[in-house]
Amino acid sequence: MLIDRIDAGSRSRVLTLELPALDPGLGAATISCVFGATSQRLIAVNVIWLAVGKASQTQETLLINAAAKPLSPLQGLSPTLSL
């Protein structure tokens, strides 16, 4: 499901995509793209993985490595919002 909202505090647009699964997660995930209020340029990408129950050490390591990995395909780009 895609959710489009304006943050009340910063007035930034936030597009949130809820997914049933996203590698290397253990279950559902949420990706939020935050666009600046005036520039309408992408300023942040947040990924949240939801794990039900206790993750194994291997699963924890996979999640930590994925979270620490830079989004190299996005570096240097200045995408703007155009809906």
Q: Kind and range of the H or E element at 66?
A: helix 57-68
Reply yes or no on whether the pLDDT at 82 is more than 60: no
- Plot region of 40 (φ>0 → left; ψ -120 to 50 → alpha; else → beta): left
- Which tops the pLDDT comparison, 76 or 8? 8
Reply yes or no on whether the pLDDT at 15 is more than 70: yes
Whole-prediction pTM value?
0.71
Supply the pLDDT for residue 75: 55
Per-residue pLDDT tens over the stretch 19-48: 998 887 777 889 999 999 999 988 888 888
Q: What is the mean pLDDT of residues 9-16?
A: 95
C-alpha to C-alpha distances, 54 to 19, 26, 41, nearest whole angstrom: 20, 10, 37
Strand 2-6 relative to strand 42-49: parallel, antiparallel, unpaired?
unpaired
Supply the pLDDT for residue 79: 53
